[in-house]
Structure 1
């Protein structure tokens, strides 16, 4: 009897054992924090601290982070790894298929409202898309996408934006040395004119308010929250006044042009648009630096500009490549809204999922010439869908302003290069070696000369 019972028990199917997650050990966690997570926080989560960036450039800080991530990937066989971060435990993705899934998941499964991000940005854009979720997020995203003409390479207001860029770039090409201060001034004025109209062009006070709010967001919303809310209210009132009679080509007018779902503030993204366009300044400067270091590529781009090639595809590819090498957002974070499985391991709802996209985009093991400037890669059909190189993200969480940002950045680069040649640059980049992992953008100087 006992033997028979034991036989039946042995034959009965057992439920599959739940696989334990790959988890970083103490030493690995400390290394990850010291070389990857903490440097991102010190550099600035919402607004870069250029003094810190300059220090990181001298120390080649990204090399430390890359070494840590390569070691973690090798030790765990490319599996997602649970690691302790500044705001709690997160699941770090290393495999290309996992990253592709990260981009493809719908927003009701992988949401963009990581708690630390909400805390840091809630004082800056409390009614914006990034601080929303569920139906409200979709409603706000619809208004946002309509204004930005998301997914369209040529914005309906392109002709007006070209006129604005041409006018604002004249002071840049009137000098022989170009640096970040001049470009920031030009892009700030372009930003206010494209978002709110010409009446806002000289409103540096509004720009200062928004910069103050963004700098305070670096402290996760814990720096003077009451003062920040009061400052936001002043900025909101000023923006509403400009938007009331903004020309139809502006983003504010486009946002107000159609009825919005109840509870949706059509101007809730205006703060984001204004500073997002200003962020194009360092993107433009880094792109021009790379072109100065690659004269053959500069010749190709200048020929395209001289021929008035529609869309400037070669120049856009150069801007994309600079963003691959030096992404605005080097780490992407989502939070699961439901229980999910990654590599057969179940993770509960509320799990933070982290993709170090800056690392993936340069990884020479997965991206040919990962540390080199090769803009031709973006002219290959389907390059925009490669999960290994996604400076704007992909899928439902893709940046809706990517096409507009590329358009404005390309137009500014074209104005600088039209009739001019970059004849000298600092720092000098050695194109025969891997490009540095970070650039001291504030220290870049470009010399403009006649061809």
Structure 2
């Protein structure tokens, strides 16, 4: 195992500063460079790479796919989804890591999630009312004949509020704004600090935003019907607190939806197959091909491209012992598109997900694995695939920006702000 100084790693050094620094960063702006990681693996081999930041923090980067199983399997007593601060929940009642997809929540939040999200069920128990509201919202989504991020986000925000809180929340854009601002600012209200300082003002603002959002969510909880996530978890006192997390998770859907439709627009055969499935009447909540397209979009462009945990005890990796407090970094996006181990790594191949073993493939982790697997993965797939179906049932994607090469390697990153799709009625 080699130790490499941060300054020598270019983009990887910037990533590590973002992960172990004090200021949160968006996952779509901080990610490892695949070229850098391939070069490091070619130079130093497959053993975990020990990186030391200028501040002296030890970061262990996992370059071998064989190490991924251990990363997902280790209990929280060994590998914890704790610091850095960016992985602390933006909501005061939640444990560190609960909102980051890096570890499992505590038992009570897990029970609440299970009741509301029905993890493991391909078709959510509330799928019929969910599909009805998706059809209603999709009419506005396709009304202009073009799709871009602002329009998609507006529709998905309404969908998220209706699924989590109920129809009364459909137009509550202020609540979404409060929650988004909390997340953008690192969100955790935190303990009181000296008034008048910038940190004190920031925490006071966070506490105020959290208080207003929490009060509004509890109002909706009092009248939520049994088909909403809040209604399904009504007997759990922590449901309103978890609703913050459910809304945050659904906040990632607009970018995934837009990228999936862009990829379908660039691959006519896959789009025709998706449209045929969307038009079929059988099993409307399943949509296996469209779900495969969403999974493949997330493989290529994951919501969380890099996963981090922190060792709680001394650990041994490839015969080298590392003290407690070592950051362990799994560059998930790199492994999901590693051409040395993943066939057609840089191509859009939804068919790879027809094999049930692909979901269990430790290299493919759009929703994580083990105890830290996202409990809302099936609900997220249902909503995203069903929205794709609503678009494709009545429209075809006629033109895209950017123009993707359906044969050549797809770009490593695909910023959602630059995507624009032109629709034509069928």
TM-score normalised to structure 1 length: 0.84
Specify whether residues 338 and 48 from structure 1 end up closer, same or farther in structure 2 by C-alpha distance, changes over 3 A only: closer
Match of 2:271 in 1: 298
Query: Is 2:301 the counterpart of 1:326?
Result: yes
Which of 135-144 and 317-326 deviates more? 135-144
Contact 1:79–1:95 (CA under 8 A) maintained in structure 2: yes
Mapping of residues 197-212 of structure 1, within 5 Å: 197-212=166-181
Greater CA drift, 223-232 or 240-249: 223-232
Match of 1:164 among 110, 130, 133: 133
Farther off after superposition, 180-189 or 275-284: 275-284
Partner of 1:374: 349
Q: What whole-Å deviation, never above 9, does each CA across 1:140-165 have from its counterpart, x for those lacking one? A: 22222321111221111111111111
Query: C-alpha distance in 2, partners of 1:339/1:327?
Result: 30
Q: Distance in 1 between matches of 2:27 and 2:323?
A: 33
Unpaired runs of 5+ residues, structure 1, are 1-20, 54-60
Q: Quote the Cα distance in structure 1 between the aligned partners of 2:187 and 2:109.
A: 24
After superposition, the Cα gap between the structure-2 partners of 1:309 and 1:438, relative to the gap in structure 1 and judged at 3 Å, is farther
Deviation at 1:130, TM superposition (A): 4.3
Q: Distance in 1 between matches of 2:404 and 2:106?
A: 43
Relative to structure 1, the CA distance from residue 396 to residue 194 in structure 2 (aligned partners, 3 Å threshold; closer, same or farther) is: same
Asked if structure 2 preserves the Cα contact closer than 8 Å seen for 1:46 and 1:214, the reply is: no
Q: Does residue 1:74 correspond to 2:34, yes or no? A: no
Q: Give the structure 2 partner of residue 14 of structure 1.
A: none
SS state of the match for residue 394, structure 2? coil
Partner Cα separation in structure 1 for residue 117 and residue 75 of structure 2: 21
Tell me, what secondary structure is at the counterpart of 1:270?
helix
Moved more, 76-85 or 362-371: 76-85
CA change 1:134–1:325 in 2 (3 A) is closer
Alpha-carbon deviation of 1:270? Answer: 1.3
| Partner SS, residue 241 of structure 2 | coil
Aligned residue pairs, count? 410
Equivalent residues in 2 for 1:131-150, closer than 5 Å: 131=97, 137-150=106-119
The structure with the larger Rg is 1
Matching residue of 2:386: 411
Contact 2:189 2:210 in 1 (8 A): no
Q: Which residue of 2 aligns with 1:256?
A: 234
Distance 1:189 1:175, change over 3 A: same
> Quick one: distance in 1 between partners of 2:179 and 2:321?
42
Deviation at 1:255, TM superposition (A): 2.3
State how 1:337-352 maps to structure 2 within 5 Å: 337-352=312-327
CA contact (8 A) 1:83 1:91 kept: yes
Aligned-pair CA distance for 1:396: 0.8
Q: Which residue of 1 aligns with 2:147?
A: 178
Partner SS for 1:224: helix
Q: Distance in 2 between matches of 1:218 and 1:47?
A: 13
> Which residues of structure 2 form unaligned runs of 5+?
191-198
Q: CA separation in 2, counterparts of 1:437 and 1:339?
A: 35
1:115-126 → structure 2 map (5 Å cutoff): 115-118=84-87, 121-122=88-89, 124-126=90-92
Identify the residue that residue 17 of structure 1 maps to in structure 2: none
| Aligned residues of 1:129 and 1:141 also touching (Cα < 8 A) | no
Normalising by the residue count of structure 2, what TM-score does the alignment of the two structures yield? 0.89
SS of residue matched to 2:106 = helix
RMSD: 2.7
User: Does the 8 Å contact 2:187/2:206 carry over to 1?
Assistant: no
Aligned residue runs from structure 1 range 206-285, under 5 A? 206-217=175-186, 224-258=202-236, 265-285=238-258
Shift of residue 289, structure 1, vs aligned partner: 0.3
